[in-house]
Amino acid sequence: AQKVTQAQTEISVVEKEDVTLDCVYETRDTTYYLFWYKQPPSGELVFLIRRNSFDEQNEISGRYSWNFQKSTSSFNFTITASQVVDSAVYFCALSENWNSGNTPLVFGKGTRLSVIA
């Protein structure tokens, strides 16, 4: 069964600090996809990134970077030089790849990030 754990419920940082959001997942499949979504106060979840299980290369997009480690089943998300606009709830999610297609996303409980000016 799939499971996503985000152990950090809430994090507060001062603007310009770096912050890492942790995500640990469980799956029995060898082919799966990992995601990060951002939920600002307006409510809608915004897609940030998707990684497949065969691509462990870390990715950087502006101030965002992701560290995928299959050995520890982790997919951590780092925001460099955080800004107040980064304040949101961040969700990690997992989808397994079956012969019939991908399973619907299973989400972690989310981490609420507050960036203080």
Partner 1 sequence: ETGVTQTPRHLVMGMTNKKSLKCEQHLGHNAMYWYKQSAKKPLELMFVYNFKEQTENNSVPSRFSPECPNSSHLFLHLHTLQPEDSALYLCASSQGEAGGITGELFFGEGSRLTVL
Q: Is 78 in the site for partner 1 (CB under 8 A)?
A: no
How many chain residues are in contact with partner 1, going by CB under 8 A? 24
Stretch that binds partner 1, among 36-44, 60-68, 71-79, 80-88 (CB under 8 A): 36-44
Q: Is 64 in the site for partner 1 (CB under 8 A)?
A: no
Q: Is 68 in the site for partner 1 (CB under 8 A)?
A: no
Question: CB atoms < 10 A from the CB of 24, how many?
Answer: 17
Q: Which residues of 30-56 are buried (b: 16+ CB within 10 A; e: fewer)?
A: eebbbbbbbeeeeeebeebbebebeee
Stretch that binds partner 1, among 22-30, 38-46, 64-72, 74-82 (CB under 8 A): 38-46
What sign does the CA torsion over 94, 5, 19, 111 have?
Answer: positive
Torsion on CA atoms 95, 28, 65, 42, rounded to nearest 10: 30
Q: Is 105 in the site for partner 1 (CB under 8 A)?
A: yes
CB nearer partner 1, residue 2 or residue 74: 2
Contacting positions for partner 1 (CB under 8 A): 4, 9, 33, 35, 37, 42-47, 50, 91, 95, 101-110
